[in-house]
Amino acid sequence: NERFIRIEDRNGNEIQFVYNLAQETLASSFSNVHRGLVIKAGQLGITTYFLARAFRKAITEDNVTAVIVAHEEFLTQRLLHKVQVMYDRLPFPDDKKPVMHHHSAYEKSFPRRNSVIYIGTAGARVFGRGEPIHFFLGTEVAFWPDADRILIPTEQRVPLDGEMWLESTPQGEGNTFYNLVQESLSGNSIWTLVTLPWWLEPEYRLAIDSEHALRGDYEKIVSLTEEEKALALKAGWDDFEADERIRWRRRKIASIKSAFWQEFFESLDSCFLSV
């Protein structure tokens, strides 16, 4: 793990970066993998996991070029901020901390290592075209416009023993991310697929009498639908966990309707339904 890295949690608190369950699942699934696809539920910390991985490589290894591409400018700025936070909070004295330079609004380099991190927005192409890329992360790739325009040439620039990761919540059919997932499922692909469902997040549950529960779910849920029973069996919940997870799920579905199956991945059968 990346124990010398510190991050902000979802509530803005500074914490040591220790893998959560979703990140641990991801790390174990991608052991000795160089091309990875991740279908994820929202807010599992997956982008943070890869960002920390790129940051560690850039400050501990020589001659590393890491490129992170997001789908929108707001997220790009958030990722830049996260890298800065990781750097600022390194638990080293200033004279021991790796020197970091800012050559542009989207580039952070570490001259003593001759390593660099580029962070940009899909379509902006803020990184150079000629140099090899040793680490590439595409985040929310299903939402990129014309993703092939970036991914096809980029894959040729990442050495076979380099790292290339594409992660996203689903976004219907007919996009590049969907097509790559289908290729991986066919078994005839360079990509290794990992799926990360919403119940890997411990906070995605509601207790009995929760003020956030639907009116009819304040007490213990005694009647599950066949779909809910199948889900509880698939996830391996005991009765207590199933009660809290289903209560949360019902509340979330009531809130965002059919978008639930896109934003909170449960299965490959349901996640690509168009919203």
pTM beyond 0.85 = yes
What confidence tier does 127 reach under pLDDT thresholds 50, 70, 90?
Answer: low
The whole-number average pLDDT for the span 104-108 is 84
Model pLDDT, residue 136: 97
Closest alpha carbon to 167 in 23, 270, 8, 12: 23
Model pLDDT, residue 129: 55
- Read off the DSSP letter of residue 109: E
Question: Do residues 250 and 232 touch, judged by C-beta distance below 8 A?
Answer: no
Specify the range with the lowest mean pLDDT, choosing from 99-108, 151-160, 167-176, 187-196: 99-108
The whole-number average pLDDT for the span 69-93 is 89
Whether the pLDDT of residue 236 is over 70: the answer is yes
Q: In sequence order, which residues have a C-beta less than 8 Å from that of residue 63 and are 6 or more positions away? A: 113, 114, 115, 134
53 burial type by CB count under 10 A (0-12 exposed, 13-18 middle, 19+ buried) = buried
Residue with tokens 């299965």, as numbered in its chain: 267
Model pLDDT, residue 250: 98
Model pLDDT, residue 274: 63
**3-state class (DSSP) for residue 102:** strand
* Rounded distance between C-alpha atoms, residue 125 and residue 122, angstroms: 7
**Residue 108 host element (H or E):** strand 107-110
Give the mean pLDDT of the chain: 91
Model pLDDT, residue 130: 66
Specify the range with the lowest mean pLDDT, choosing from 3-12, 65-74, 126-135, 257-266: 126-135
